[in-house]
Amino acid sequence: MSAVQSLIATHRQGAPVGLYSVCCSNAQVLLAAMQVAQRYDTLLLIEATSNQVDQFGGYTGMTPPQYRDYVLQLARDAGFPAERLVLGGDHLGPNAWQKGPTAAAMANARELIAAYVAAGFHKIHLDCSMSCADDPTPLPDAIVAARSAELARIAERTAAEHGLPPPVYVIGTEVPIPGGEASLAGGLQVTTPAAAATTLAIHREAFSAPDLLPAWERVIAMVVQPGVDFDHSSVHYYDPAAAADLSAFVEQQPRIVFEAHSTDYQTEAGLHALVRDHFAILKVGPAATYAFREAVFALAMIERELLPATQHSQLIEVLDRCMVDKPGSWRSYYQGDEHELRLLRAYSLSDRSRYYWGEPAVQAALDTLVANLTAHAPPQMLLGQFMPEQLKAIEADELQPEPLALIQHKVALRLAEYARACNRNVSGAHNETRQAKELSER
Residue extents of the structural domains in the chain: 3-284, 290-418
pLDDT at 20: 98
Tens digits of residue pLDDT in 242-293: 999 999 999 999 999 999 999 999 999 999 999 999 999 999 999 999 999 9
pLDDT at 439: 28
**pLDDT tops 50 at residue 43:** yes
- 107-114: long-range pairs with CB below 8 Å, 24+: 108/54, 108/55, 109/147, 109/151, 110/150, 110/151, 110/154, 111/55, 112/50, 112/54, 112/55, 113/89, 113/151, 113/154, 113/155, 113/158, 114/154, 114/155, 114/158
Mean per-residue pLDDT, 281-308:
98
Cβ distance 22 to 48 under 8 Å?
A: no
Nearest to 154 by CA among 202, 201, 89, 81: 89
pLDDT at 180: 57
Mean per-residue pLDDT, 79-84:
96
Nearest to 178 by CA among 302, 251, 286, 80: 286
pTM summary value: 0.93
Looking at domain 290-418, what is its CATH homologous superfamily? Answer: putative tagatose 6-phosphate kinase domain like (1.10.400.20)
Residue 390 Cα distances to 12, 298, 316, 343, 410, angstroms: 37, 11, 21, 25, 7
pLDDT at 181: 55
pLDDT at 174: 76
pLDDT at 187: 77
- pLDDT bracket for residue 397 (50, 70, 90): very high
pLDDT at 29: 98
What is the pairing mode between strands 123-126 and 168-171? parallel
Domains 3-284 and 290-418 share a fold: no
Fold type of domain 3-284: TIM Barrel (3.20.20)
**pLDDT tops 60 at residue 435:** no
Nearest to 369 by CA among 418, 407, 332, 395: 407
Flag the least confident range among 120-129, 187-196, 310-319: 187-196
At 225, the amino acid letter reads Q
Tens digits of residue pLDDT in 403-424: 999 999 999 999 999 999 999 6
Cβ distance 248 to 193 under 8 Å?
A: yes
Residue 424 CA neighbour count, 13 Å, CB half: 16
pLDDT at 258: 98
Alpha carbons 131 and 100: distance in angstroms, whole number = 10
Helices (H) and strands (E) counted in the chain, each on its own, are 17, 10
